[in-house]
Structure 1
Amino acid sequence: MTFSIVGRCEKTGQLGIAISSSSIAVGARCPWLRAGVGAVATQNVTLPALGPQILDLLAGKQLAPAEALKQALDANEWSEFRQVTVVDAKGRTAFFSGKEALGTYHAVAGNQCVAAGNMLSGKHVIEAMPAAFANAEGHLADRLLAAMNAAIAAGGEAGPVHSAALKIVSDLTWPLVDLRVDWADEDPIGKLGELWTAYEPQMNDYVTRALNPAAAPSYGVPGDE
Structure 2
Amino acid sequence: MRLKDKVAIITGGGSGIGKEGAVLYCKEGAKVVVADFSEENGQKTVAELKDAGFEVSFFKVNVVDGKQVKEMVDFTIEKYGRVDVLVNNAGITQDSMLLKMTDEQFDRVIDINLKGVFNCSREVAAKMIEQGSGRIINTSSVVGVYGNVGQTNYAATKAGVIGMTKSWAKELGPKGITVNAVAPGYIQTEMTKKIPEKLLEMIKEKTPLKRLGQPLDVAKVYLFLASSEADFLNGTVVNVDGGLVL
TM-score range, shorter chain: 0.3 to 0.5
| TM superposition score normalised by structure 2 | 0.34
**Greater helix content:** 2
| TM superposition score normalised by structure 1 | 0.36
Give the number of the structure with larger relative contact order, counting CA–CA contacts within 8 Å between residues 6 or more apart: 1
